[in-house]
Structure 1
C-alpha cells in the first residue's frame, strides 16, 4: 500500500475531482499516488484514476470529538496520522488545502519538512507555502477576482516539481472512470419513470439540470430552470433530469409545481443518488445546464458539455469547467463578479439577468448544430458575457469571449495577467535551484528575467486603466531594486536592515492600495513571509521579480499610448 507521493485535498467535492489532472501527471511521471480526502466524499474515489491507495479522513467525527474533549480529538488525529504515514510511507506530500489543520496534517505525514509541496508549516508552527506556485495559489484563494488561471492548472503547478520533463508544459488531462454497472443500472431505473409524461410520448433524450449551488446568491432561479426545461421538451423532445443533494429537495418541489402547471415531464433525481450514481446519470445525458457546482466538474471529468451560470462571486476564469467546448455565462453587469463577504447593493439583480429564452437558444444551437454561436442573439449579448472554454497555446485552460465582452477592461486585464504571471512564476520556479548565484548578481538576474519568454501577445487595456496601474508597477519595480541593494548590506549595517524592512512594507502597502494588483499584493506578502529567514533566496527572487515588473510596466505604457 506504500506510495511515494501522498496528496492531501480536504476541500469540497468539486475541488477533489479537480485534483484528477494532477494525479494523472504524477502517475505519468512514474509516481505511485496516495490520496487523503474527507470521508463524506470517499464515494468519489472509484471514479478517480491512478489513485493507488486512499485514506478517508473522518472530519465530522473529529470535530464532534473536539467538542467533547480536545485531548481525545488530538489523540485520534495523531493515531490516524501515524497509521497513514506507516501505511503510505510517502517520500513526498503534496498538500492542496491551505487551512491550518491540513497544514498540520501534512507536517505529521511527511518524512521531513522539506518533503512537503504546497501548504505546510515552518519549525515554529507558522504557515509556509512550499514553491512559488503555492504562494500564488494561496493569494488566488484569498483574492479570486484577480485569479487568471483555472484552479486545476494551479493545482497541477503546485505538484510540478515532481513531474517528469515535458509534462508540466502539456495540457492537463481530466478523465474520470466510468461508473460501476450497479450505478448505471440505478440511473436507468430513474430515467424509466419521468413524471408528467403523456402515455404516448417518448423522450428523445435527456438534459440534466443542476438547480442548487453552494449559496443561494449563486443559484439561477428555479423558475428559470423550469421555463428552460419546458422549452427543451416542447421544441426538442428532451426530458429534463433534476440533479442535486437531499438539501436541495425544496427546489425540486418548486420545479415540480412549475412543471405540473406547464404539463412538462421531468425526472426528479434530487437526493436520490450517491456520487457514482450521479456520475452514471450524467453519462446518459446529452448536456448539463448548471450553476458553478461540483456537479459541473463531475460532468467535465466525464466529457459531458455544459452550459454553466456564474453568478454573484463566481467567475469562469478560475472555476470554470476543465473541458474545452463548454459555454459559461456571466451576467453583463458592471458589478459582476461581486466581492466576497459584502452584501449586494443591487438586490441580487444578477440572478435574473440571464433569461431562460437566451439559455434555451444556446442549448438548442449546441444540440442541433454542434456549436453555441448560432444561439447568440443581440438580446443575449446585452444580458450576458458568453465564454467558451478552451486550451491556450501553453497548455493551460482558458476562456474565449463569444459575445464581444473581451474588450472590457476586466477581461483584458485578466487576459494580460495570464502571460505575465506565467513568465514570472515559471521563471521564479526554474531559478529556485539557482539561488547560489547570490544577491550580488541581482541586476544580472533582473536583466535576464526581463528578456525571458520572447515576444508577449498580451492584449492592451484601455488607456485610463493603464494609467491607473502602470505607475504602481513601475514604482514597485523601483522598490524591488532598492530592496536588492539594501538586502546585500543587511547584517553589515543596522540602518540598511531597517530600510529593508521599511521598504518591504512600503511595497506591500503600495500593492494593497491598487485593487487590480491584488494577486501581486498577496504574492509579495507570501513571498517575503516565507523567505524572510533565507535572505539569499529572497533577494534572488527580488531581482527576478523586479525585471518582470519593469517589463510589465513598459508593456502597459505602450498599451496606453497605442490602444486597440
Structure 2
C-alpha cells in the first residue's frame, strides 16, 4: 500500500482546511499526518483514518520534547513514503523535509543552498502571487492545499451540504485577531435578530477561557428572554466537547475562526462576518449552505500585521438596518428577500465548482468580480480543469467584461512561463 506524509504545523483552522488534501490521499493509501502536539487530539477526531503524529515544534522545546520528535523522525525515515506534502512555508517543516529525498517532497522543500532558503512548487508559486493582489484572489485555502495532490477529491465530497440540525444557535465570541471580530454591542444586536428569526433557539457561546469576560458582557447586553436561553461554554470545552457543541446546530454565527471551519466540516450552516484582514475568497467556509458578509472598503483586505490607520472603519458598514434585513435573507432563503446593502458591504453564498470552493454574490457591489473570474479561469487552465469551472465562478460576472489589455496583463502577472512547463507539483 502506498504511504503518504502530510505536514501541517499551523493552527486549528489550517488543520481543518487541509481536509481535501488528506481525504484525497486516504483514497490512495496510508496517510501519516504530522501536526503540532497540541492539535494531535483534534487531528485524530477529524481524520480517524490517518495515523497522527504530534510534534513539539514551537517555542523552545525541552530535551524530552526533542527526544519525542526524534522518535517520530526515526519512524518516518524507516517508512517508504511515496510523497511528502509540506503544507507550510516554514523553516521548521522545511528542515524536517531534509529527512526525505527531495524529489518526493511536494509544496515546499528546503533548497540545497543557501540552507535557509525554501523552494516552492509551481502551484505554490502561482498561488503565492495571488497574495500580491488579494482583491483578485479567487482561491480558497482548502483548494490551495487540495491541489498539492494530482486529481484531488471532488469538492462536493469534502464537506457535507450544510443544513440546520435543530440544536440551536452557536455564537463564536471572538477570533484570534480582535480587529477581525465583531464588537460586543454589534454582536448582541445581530444575535437578537437571529434569535427572533430562528424562533427563540438555545444559544451556545463558544470561545477559549480568555473570552469568558466577553461572554459575561455579551449576556448583560441581551434581553432577559434571550439570557434565559444562553449556555456559556467559553473555556469549558476540550476538543471532543467543542465538536459535540457545534455538531447539530441550526447555525453558527462567527468571524473567520477555526470553529467556523469545524462547523463547515460538520455540515453546520455558517453565518460568517469577514472584515479587516480577513478575506472570504481565501478562507471562507467551505462547501454549500453557508453565507458570508464581507466588508469591502478600498483599504480592504488589509495586512494583519500592520496597524489600522482608519480606526477599523470597515465596521461602519455592519452598523445599519440593511445588515439586519440581510440576516433574514440568509436564514430564510425560501422567502427570496431582496438585499440592499451599503457600497462597502457584500453578502455572499458559498458554492462549489470544478476548481473547488467559490462564493456567489447575493447583495452589494463587487467591482473586482470580472478580474477574479478571469484569474479563476487561469488557475483552472493551469490545473487542466474544464473551462466552465472558471467562467461562472463569481456571481454573474464574466471574465469577458475586462478588456483584452487587462486580460493580457493579468495573464502575464499570474502565469510565468516556467511555471507552466511542468506538472503543478514539480519544482524548477
The question of whether the paired residues in 1 share the 8 Å contact of 2:317 and 2:342 is answered with no
The question of whether the paired residues in 2 share the 8 Å contact of 1:34 and 1:88 is answered with no
Describe how 1:214-363 pairs up with structure 2 within 5 A: 214-234=176-196, 236-259=199-222, 264-265=227-228, 266-355=230-319, 357-363=321-327
Q: 1:169 to 1:21 in 2, by over 3 A?
A: closer
Q: 1:64 to 1:82 in 2, by over 3 A?
A: closer
**Partner SS, residue 242 of structure 2:** helix
- How far the C-alpha of 1:77 sits from its partner, in A, is 7.5
Given the alignment of the two structures, is residue 135 of structure 1 paired with residue 135 of structure 2, yes or no? no
Describe how 1:511-522 pairs up with structure 2 within 5 A: 517=413, 520=414
Give the one of 339, 347, 370 matched to 1:412.
Answer: 370
Q: 1:356 to 1:230 in 2, by over 3 A?
A: farther
Alignment-derived partner of residue 171 in structure 1: 155
Distance 1:354 1:230 in 2: 15
Alignment-derived partner of residue 361 in structure 2: 401
TM score, norm. by length of structure 2:
0.84
The question of whether the paired residues in 1 share the 8 Å contact of 2:55 and 2:69 is answered with no
134-143 or 19-28, larger mean C-alpha shift: 134-143
Alignment-derived partner of residue 8 in structure 1: 7
Q: 1:78-104: CA deviations, max 9, x gaps?
A: 624533415654232111011111111
- How far the C-alpha of 1:168 sits from its partner, in A, is 3.3
Q: 1:336 to 1:75 in 2, by over 3 A?
A: closer
**Partner SS, residue 402 of structure 1:** strand
TM score, norm. by length of structure 1:
0.65
Q: 1:327-376: CA deviations, max 9, x gaps?
A: 11112423222244433232211124213754543444444x345842x4
Alignment-derived partner of residue 20 in structure 1: 19
Distance 1:207 1:63 in 2: 40
- How far the C-alpha of 1:143 sits from its partner, in A, is 6.1
Distance 1:243 1:455 in 2: 36
Q: Which runs of 5 or more residues in structure 2 are unaligned? A: 161-165, 392-397, 424-428
Q: 1:272 to 1:455 in 2, by over 3 A?
A: closer
Give the one of 330, 352, 363 matched to 1:391.
Answer: 352
Q: 1:387 to 1:232 in 2, by over 3 A?
A: closer
Q: 1:66-123: CA deviations, max 9, x gaps?
A: xxxxxx6996486245334156542321110111111111222x2x111111111122
Distance 1:227 1:86 in 2: 55
- How far the C-alpha of 1:396 sits from its partner, in A, is 1.6
Q: 1:450-475: CA deviations, max 9, x gaps?
A: xx969984424556xx76x467469x
If each structure's strand is expressed as a fraction of its own residues, which one has the higher value? Answer: 2
The question of whether the paired residues in 1 share the 8 Å contact of 2:374 and 2:407 is answered with no
Describe how 1:9-158 pairs up with structure 2 within 5 A: 9-28=8-27, 30-49=28-47, 51-60=49-58, 63-65=60-62, 76=67, 79-86=70-77, 88-108=79-99, 110=100, 112-124=101-113, 125-129=115-119, 131-140=121-130, 144-158=134-148
- How far the C-alpha of 1:263 sits from its partner, in A, is 6.1
- How far the C-alpha of 1:284 sits from its partner, in A, is 3.0
Q: 1:297-318: CA deviations, max 9, x gaps?
A: 0000001111111100111111
- How far the C-alpha of 1:250 sits from its partner, in A, is 2.6
Distance 1:352 1:267 in 2: 29
- How far the C-alpha of 1:256 sits from its partner, in A, is 2.1
Distance 1:415 1:94 in 2: 28
Count of residues paired in the alignment? 410
Distance 1:349 1:146 in 2: 22
Distance 2:318 2:80 in 1: 51
Q: 1:17 to 1:356 in 2, by over 3 A?
A: farther
- How far the C-alpha of 1:7 sits from its partner, in A, is 0.5
- How far the C-alpha of 1:8 sits from its partner, in A, is 0.3
The question of whether the paired residues in 2 share the 8 Å contact of 1:224 and 1:355 is answered with yes
If each structure's helix is expressed as a fraction of its own residues, which one has the higher value? Answer: 1
Distance 2:69 2:265 in 1: 34
Q: Which structure has the larger Rg over C-alpha atoms? A: 1
Distance 2:205 2:419 in 1: 55
The question of whether the paired residues in 1 share the 8 Å contact of 2:9 and 2:88 is answered with yes
Alignment-derived partner of residue 480 in structure 1: none
Q: 1:346 to 1:46 in 2, by over 3 A?
A: same
Of structures 1 and 2, the one with the larger relative CO (CA 8 A, separation 6+) is 2
The question of whether the paired residues in 1 share the 8 Å contact of 2:111 and 2:119 is answered with no
